[in-house]
Chain A
Amino acid sequence: MGKKKKPVKKRTGKAAGRSPGKAPRPRQKAKKWSLKETNALLKSLIDKEKEILQTEDALVEAMRRFRDLFEQSPIGVGIHDTEGEILMVNKTYLEIFGLKAFGDITQQNFFRDLGLLETNISKIKSGRVIQHEVEFDFDSPGMKTEREGAGYILYTISPISRDNEIIGYMVQCQDITERRKVEESHRLAQLGRLLSDMAHEVNNPLMIISGRAEFALIEGVKDEKTKDTLNTILEQCFFAKDIIQRLLKYSRLGKVEKKTLDVRNTLELISSILEHHFRMSNIKLEQEIPPGLPNVRGNEKQLQEVFMNIMRNSADAMPEGGVITIKAGREGDYVRIDFSDTGEGMTENILQNIFEPFFTTKQQGTGLGLAVSHTIIQEHGGQLKYQSEIGRGTTATVLLPIVYPTGQ
């Protein structure tokens, strides 16, 4: 008996201990639970259950609040595991990318899919917060999106830690496309102003140099050598002034005279100038320019420069040689000229930037050729467009408005 009693006692003690307010009754030889005791125990269990349910409700409520916060945040949020794989995203995240479902997300792993630099990846893994901007082409075939065109997404990647250990990552996405567009146009305007200021700063000293040299010449210099030197100084000053003016072309500065002309002549001239260079570089030039193209109104020299720039770029894209095809024809109110090459093509990233001043992929490029060309064509009321495919080639299209003979 005595042996059996002990565990019972213990159990009684435990049970009594659990019910709040009820002191254990060591005197009682708990053979049986009295009704009172059973009721008390039941009551305490019910209380406990209530307590648990309340806690659970509070937890559910907290979860809901968190969920609302998560879903309704104006910032796209994605939770990723330690390997960078995506686990969950909020509604805004899907909206930003124009997606319907979680499964449509193409940027599944931010370590792999966002084009992050190695240095940034190691920074992230060491627990630092990183901001990273990605430009998307929503028209590209790989994307299941309802968005169109290009978009700029700013990612903020931060670690989720417990007890000093990274257990995952939070990726916040913001659509900054509009902001970038505005910034872009501001930047171009600013660059124009900067160049204008620079012109002012450089042209003043040029005035002093050329002025002194010319004044000395006017005063009379007997020594031929000195005369020569002064003339060279003068020449070079005005050459420098020319360079500055050319540099400023892209920002639509300096009006030019336009005449009615046949682009066929311009294209033939440029082709003949480049012919020798092309032959040396193993480049074949094919032309499909029908006679009797409608006339356009333009500045002959500027259009020559544009065609030259386009064809030089085509040649540069074919270091091993290839074919450049020039096709011209009428398209509505425009004369359309296509320059196609069989070169290496350009990535979407490069394609987006080709008209940016000072943007270049060439070792010795100024980054002004296409920027100037683009501006020239725009000033002619036309369009310059590029299409490119990696490994297949690039096509530059020039559209110039037709001039109708007077009286028509």
Chain B
Amino acid sequence: MTPRGVKKEVKMRGKNILIVDDEKKIVEILANFLEMEGFKVMKTYDGQEALELLLADTPIDLMLLDEKMPVMGGTTLMREMRKRGMDIPIIVLTGSISITQRASSDKEGLYTNLLVKPVRLSELLDMVNRVLKESAGKGQKKAKKKKKAS
């Protein structure tokens, strides 16, 4: 397998991605694919589980989050994270179309990065790279601001 978009790959390789989805088979596919693309992948199967991992200060650069899960759904998890000031970029993956409607009236700005299942893996990879790049940009700006301030 030759990595595509070599420039991006070099930058983004090794980033930590947390997958949260109650559908184990989907988690497996996404994990295998992203690992093959050079990412470090962690898997959880519920929002609650993911939140515990986040609270334990696990380094995570990006989350792939399912919307509907039995114990704690994606939306609830995102709100919990906001409450705690966790600023990790999230891509929401959903099977239900109603979320696209919700995204259009998304006052909280939770569904900025949204994909409706089934999604092409290539499309997913593009979004993962874009979001990571944007977040890296933000991080640099923040770092610069901090430097200036000090």
Q: Which residues of A contact B (CB under 8 A)?
A: 192-193, 195-197, 199-204, 206-212, 214-215, 218-220, 234, 237-238, 241, 244-245, 248, 252-255
A199 and B29 form a contact (CB under 8 A): no
Min CB–CB distance A228 → chain B (angstroms): 18
**Chain B residues, CB < 8 A from A208:** 23, 25-26, 29
Choose from B23, B33, B117 the contact partner of A218 (Cβ within 8 Å). B33
A201 and B23 form a contact (CB under 8 A): no
Min CB–CB distance A203 → chain B (angstroms): 4
Apart from the given pairs A214-B121, A218-B36, 4 other A-B contacts in the complex at a CB distance below 8 Å: A195-B97, A207-B119, A214-B120, A238-B120
Min CB–CB distance A257 → chain B (angstroms): 13
B118 and A209 form a contact (CB under 8 A): yes
A200 and B118 form a contact (CB under 8 A): no
User: Can you list 16 pairs linking A and B with CB atoms under 8 Å apart?
Assistant: A195-B97, A200-B68, A200-B95, A203-B95, A203-B96, A203-B116, A204-B117, A207-B23, A207-B26, A207-B117, A207-B119, A209-B118, A211-B121, A219-B36, A234-B120, A253-B97
B94 proximal to A (CB < 8 A): yes
Min CB–CB distance B148 → chain A (angstroms): 41
**Chain A residues, CB < 8 A from B104:** 255
B118 and A252 form a contact (CB under 8 A): no
Binary CB contact string for chain B from 83 to 104 against chain A (1 if under 8 A, 0 otherwise): 0000000000011111011001
B95 and A211 form a contact (CB under 8 A): no
Residues facing A in B24-39 (CB within 8 A) are 25-26, 29-30, 32-33, 36
Interface of A is mostly: helix
Min CB–CB distance B118 → chain A (angstroms): 4
B122 proximal to A (CB < 8 A): yes
B122 and A214 form a contact (CB under 8 A): yes
B1 proximal to A (CB < 8 A): yes
B1 and A219 form a contact (CB under 8 A): yes
Number of A-B contacts (CB under 8 A): 81
Choose from A192, A193, A203 the contact partner of B118 (Cβ within 8 Å). A203
**Chain B residues, CB < 8 A from A201:** 95
**Chain B residues, CB < 8 A from A215:** 29, 32-33, 121
Q: How many residues of B contact A (CB 8 A)?
A: 25
Closest residue of chain B to A247 (Cβ to Cβ) is B97
Given A211-B118, A238-B118, A245-B97: A204 and B26 interface contact (C-beta under 8 Å): yes
**Chain B residues, CB < 8 A from A234:** 120
Choose from A192, A204, A248, A254 the contact partner of B23 (Cβ within 8 Å). A204
Closest residue of chain A to B120 (Cβ to Cβ) is A214
A192–B97 CA distance with the chains assembled, in angstroms: 10
Min CB–CB distance B52 → chain A (angstroms): 24
A220–B96 CA distance with the chains assembled, in angstroms: 31
A199 and B121 form a contact (CB under 8 A): no
Min CB–CB distance A246 → chain B (angstroms): 11
**Chain B residues, CB < 8 A from A193:** 98
**Chain B residues, CB < 8 A from A255:** 104
Binary CB contact string for chain B from 61 to 97 against chain A (1 if under 8 A, 0 otherwise): 0000000100000000000000000000000001111
B96 and A199 form a contact (CB under 8 A): yes
Min CB–CB distance A174 → chain B (angstroms): 36
Given A200-B68, A203-B96: A253 and B118 interface contact (C-beta under 8 Å): no
B117 and A253 form a contact (CB under 8 A): no
A208–B68 CA distance with the chains assembled, in angstroms: 16
A253 and B100 form a contact (CB under 8 A): yes
A210–B121 CA distance with the chains assembled, in angstroms: 9
Given A204-B26, A211-B29: A218 and B121 interface contact (C-beta under 8 Å): yes
Closest residue of chain A to B122 (Cβ to Cβ) is A214
**Chain A residues, CB < 8 A from B33:** 211, 215, 218
A206 and B100 form a contact (CB under 8 A): no
**Chain A residues, CB < 8 A from B117:** 203-204, 206-207
**Chain B residues, CB < 8 A from A252:** 101
